[in-house]
Structure 1
Amino acid sequence: MTLKDRFSGFNEFVLSAQEGSFTAAGARLGLTSSAVGKAVTRLERRLATKLVHRTTRRLTLTSEGEAYLASCLRVLNDLEETESYLTTGRQEPVGKVRLELPATFGRRHVLPALLELSNRHPRLDLSANFSERRADLIAEGVDVAVRIGELRDDSDIAARRLGEQRLIICAASSYLQLHGVPQTREDLLNHDCIVGLRRSEPAQWLLKNLQDTFEPTAVRVRYELGDGEAMLNTALAGCGLAQLPTWLVGEHLRSGALVQVLQPWSGGEMPVHVIWPRTKYIQPRIRVVIDELVRLSDQPGSGFRA
């Protein structure tokens, strides 16, 4: 396949996906709607894959189209960044960085630092999703992610440890007055527990055993919630016990709004990493974000240290 053939339909597809129609893409390219549509059709035929759903009102991408668009945009960003380096002689971060961040931790501790970073680099754009879901970085076109918890063994992913979070078990005094204070790990099977979304995984907390090591321990679930902020608010409302990181509950423990329980059994730590798709050359826009997260993790009160 020639280089010309490989990029045939590239611009037409990207602009059609971004604009939502062949007509709008054609207007930007100086082509007719029909010519754009035929170019995308030829691209689909070459790839033997349907990239777009065509309706009379708007185009939508198939799942394969979403993946292909992410790859196309990454190529365009890398090209723009390299051209900037060649024309300016400096590796200035240019283009969009797509991030996956833990919901509550990302909003509280990561986003403010990244916004300051973007202010220092006017050509650096950020696209951040806040979720506890573990995105597939390569398939979904994610440049950088922050992960809390043990990492899976994946040769395609590079990682750097930023710190750790220490977990404690706590509840509002109103809940403890009504239901009693748990004394042993087994008591958790008789209490209302607040946990994060599990996606078919068993409900378990990290607790110390008789051998003085930490292990997953079964609990009884009453509330299953999508992020730490919701779990915290549910605990503050007196609805049950929650296992949460110290950075999230510290002020409420100091005020007395929450009470720590099962102290001899709790205190497990979860690692925090920054991860990115492994490559021989890390683009400046990605490198500057990674470096900023490493710098942030060394700051007192950053939330990256237990």
Structure 2
Amino acid sequence: MKIRNLQDLRVFVLAADSGSLSTAAHTLDLSPAVASASLKRLESDLGAVLLIRSTRSLRLSPEGESLLPAARCALAGLSDALDDIAQLRSSLREELRVSMPSDLGRNHLLAWLDSFLLQHPDVTLRTHVSDRPVDLYQQPVDIAIRYTDMADSGLVALPILAGNRRVLCAAPNYLARHGVPAVPGDLSRHNCLRFRLGNALHEHWRFSLEGQEVVVTVNGNRIADDGDAVHRWALAGHGIAYKSALDVGKSIAAGLLVPLCTEWTTEAAPLSLVCADRRQLSPLVVLLRDHLRLCCENLVDGFKATWPFTPVP
């Protein structure tokens, strides 16, 4: 048993509710003849008379009385679903203002956002590429993509790659000139490329092995507030960097950088999509997070076979 046309069901419900087939036809902007044909088609599909009609009256048959509540429910559910689709389509036309870190942003995220816009051409994107902290309450930014643990920040965070970690690495020509550090403590004798985030200088590098934690205070002749600059310095052989695996994974896979002290567990660098209020998590933002998560997973899959990076859950 199959109903061929939902319009037939609408005619039946309106006719039953109003007690008039002509009223149902007028409500649906149909001719009386088309409305009558719809009702006959529905009755033919179901193999039952639903409305007992005369020239002056219309009443439900027992089969019609049985069908009417389910028909009302089905049409109401369809209306709700269509409203949801309309709301989703509307939300997928919004403008997104996105802040992102410099290294991952320039070298990966911009391309990933390009592919997202190809899938959602009605979206307008404004990007802010910088490692300087963004105030999501004060600055004109909707969401930020950041390497950070937001548990105690009061902000709302959707994880993109929660198990991402830092990697200690240097170019082969630097290691040929200055030697390879065997343990983190050896870093005190090396030129380390340091990163400043706001007022905080990242000069205390943490490692652990078999329950033992080591914190090394590093020094060097280069400090940047831009993670991409640190990456470029490392590639040029100017020193040792301690950067996100997502940032340097392709460089390591290509042999341009060498991972160091790989038996030691490095600092966590979870990547998240962050916003100020849960109401900002529109369907579009959730779609973007899912897209970026897939891109990150594909990136990791592309380089994890060539060096021992294993993101924790």
Aligned counterparts, 1:237-256, within 5 A: 237-256=236-255
Tell me by how many angstroms 1:227 deviates: 3.1
Contact 2:145 2:272 in 1 (8 A): yes
Q: What is the letter of the counterpart of residue 105 of structure 1? A: L
| Other structure's SS at 2:269 match | strand
Aligned counterparts, 1:199-210, within 5 A: 199-202=198-201, 203-208=203-208
Q: 1:226 to 1:90 in 2, by over 3 A?
A: same
Tell me by how many angstroms 1:100 deviates: 0.6
Q: TM-score, normalised by structure 1?
A: 0.61
Indicate the residue corresponding to 1:160 in structure 2. 158
Kindly name which structure, 1 or 2, has the bigger radius of gyration based on alpha carbons: 2
Q: 1:147 to 1:135 in 2, by over 3 A?
A: same
Indicate the residue corresponding to 2:172 in structure 1. 173
Tell me by how many angstroms 1:285 deviates: 4.2
Q: 1:115 to 1:250 in 2, by over 3 A?
A: closer
Q: 1:247 to 1:191 in 2, by over 3 A?
A: same
Of 80, 86, 89, which residue of structure 1 is paired with 2:86?
A: 89
What is the CA deviation profile of residues 222-280 of structure 1, one whole-angstrom value per residue up to 9, with x for unaligned ones? 21123333222212222111112334434443454333333333543311111112244
Indicate the residue corresponding to 1:124 in structure 2. 123
In the aligned structure 1, how far is the partner of 2:102 from the partner of 2:208? 27
Contact 1:100 1:144 in 2 (8 A): yes
What is the CA deviation profile of residues 89-148 of structure 1, one whole-angstrom value per residue up to 9, with x for unaligned ones? 342222311101111212333322322222333321000111112211121132111111
Q: What is the letter of the counterpart of residue 245 of structure 1? A: S
In the aligned structure 1, how far is the partner of 2:165 from the partner of 2:94? 36
Indicate the residue corresponding to 1:99 in structure 2. 98
Q: What is the letter of the counterpart of residue 116 of structure 2? A: L
Aligned counterparts, 1:1-306, within 5 A: 89-92=86-89, 93-151=92-150, 153-155=152-154, 157-163=155-161, 164-202=163-201, 203-208=203-208, 211-213=211-213, 216-280=215-279, 282-299=281-298, 301=300, 306=311
Task: Give the aligned length.
Answer: 219
Q: What is the letter of the counterpart of residue 197 of structure 1? A: R
Tell me by how many angstroms 1:177 deviates: 3.1
What is the CA deviation profile of residues 15-54 of structure 1, one whole-angstrom value per residue up to 9, with x for unaligned ones? xxxxxxxxxxxxxxxxxxxxxxxxxxxxxxxxxxxxxxxx
Contact 1:168 1:245 in 2 (8 A): yes
Tell me by how many angstroms 1:189 deviates: 2.0
In the aligned structure 2, how far is the partner of 1:239 from the partner of 1:177? 12
In the aligned structure 2, how far is the partner of 1:135 from the partner of 1:262? 33
Tell me by how many angstroms 1:193 deviates: 0.4
In the aligned structure 1, how far is the partner of 2:186 from the partner of 2:122? 54
Q: 1:216 to 1:198 in 2, by over 3 A?
A: farther
Tell me by how many angstroms 1:191 deviates: 1.4
Percent identity, please: 26
Tell me by how many angstroms 1:291 deviates: 4.1
| Other structure's SS at 1:238 match | coil
